[in-house]
Chain A
């Protein structure tokens, strides 16, 4: 995703847009994941129905923001990597690709699942989104499992991502974390 050859020409921090999107998405997926994990085992109640609706709105918001962020990432060069061993760079890139993939796949799979379950998404109670597949109960059962699997995988990759950021900050004392905290004019 990044080219290290012209690293010197690059600014040291991410753009404000990238930073804002990063933290907004981080906040939303934390809420979305917690709500999702909590709501599934609730007994049927108005609260449960409401939580499912909120969970879907969060997911759709994440999907939209991640797509914007992907376009932004492809059109705006990120700051150069801190000096680190090759295996770490590779792991970093792999983790980032995986994060983008999971951040798109997880909400998309949730949307597919709710379509297959015959419950359309009405975003913010205002706009009904199109169904991605026809109603099919067997398909919905499979998709809900995949959605859960993707969400838990995302959790582990996010934890790895967070642990790495802390490691760079507190052990290596480099600016990996700082460049995602600073503001730069885009």
Chain B
């Protein structure tokens, strides 16, 4: 607990350094990767992909302690299916992408799991707030490409996304599914 608190405090500096590395030397293939947020409105699941992101994953199954991952997602690239909704979600009450243009996930620990799986613990920074979370990831290889698949769940209220008036029609929980090809 203390360690994660300490990580949160030094989070900002760490995030900046690692994202600079990720952005400067990305290893993933964004064109073939997907990061999709699924929110529920009136119990209707709606998929909204992020169109722009990049990052770097250094994963060695034999040496997980040295493995790391850093992803940087352009907040304004969230596509809800229509320009009306896309510009709405960029506003201050939602993602406020003008003030917080990027969403980042920087790993702090990679722990091996069952064959083809690992747990990535890291810091998610979204709309100026950070959260440490652990995401189960499955890895598979196809030819020279490696794919990393997983899903995490975030709380809109924790990150201050969306006014309270929306709480009746929009679930607090938002699932984020990723399929990253490297």
Contacts and interface: CB of A to CB of B under 8 A. Distances in A.
The answer to whether A and B come from one shared complex is yes
Contacts of A135: 47, 81
A46 B170 contact: yes
Interface string B45-83: 111000000000000000000000000000000000110
A49 interface: yes
Given A118-B46, A122-B44, A137-B81, A44 B88 contact: yes
A140 B97 CA distance: 27
A33 B45 CA distance: 25
Interface stretch (B19-27, B111-119, B161-169): B161-169
Given A49-B41, A122-B42, A44 B81 contact: no
A62 to B, nearest CB: 19
A46 B44 contact: no
Nearest to B88: A44
Interface in B124-182: 165-166, 168-170
Given A46-B165, A49-B169, A50-B169, A120 B85 contact: no
A117 interface: yes
B81 A46 contact: no
A49 B44 CA distance: 10
B50 to A, nearest CB: 15
Most buried by A among B88, B165, B169, B170: B169
Contacts of B46: 118-119
A118 B81 contact: yes
Contacts of A128: 44-45
Interface in A115-130: 117-122, 125-126, 128
B43 interface: yes
A39 interface: no
B43 A125 contact: yes
A120 B42 CA distance: 11
Most buried by B among A46, A53, A121: A46
13 contacts: A44-B85, A44-B88, A46-B169, A46-B170, A49-B41, A49-B170, A53-B41, A117-B81, A119-B81, A122-B44, A126-B43, A128-B44, A137-B81
Given A44-B84, A128-B45, A137-B82, 12 more contacts: A44-B88, A49-B41, A49-B169, A53-B44, A117-B82, A118-B46, A119-B81, A122-B44, A125-B42, A125-B43, A128-B44, A135-B47
Interface of A: 44-46, 49-50, 53, 117-122, 125-126, 128, 135, 137, 140
**Which 5 pairs, one residue from A and one from B, show the smallest C-beta to C-beta distance?**
A53-B42, A125-B43, A46-B169, A122-B44, A44-B88
Interface of B: 41-47, 81-82, 84-85, 88, 165-166, 168-170
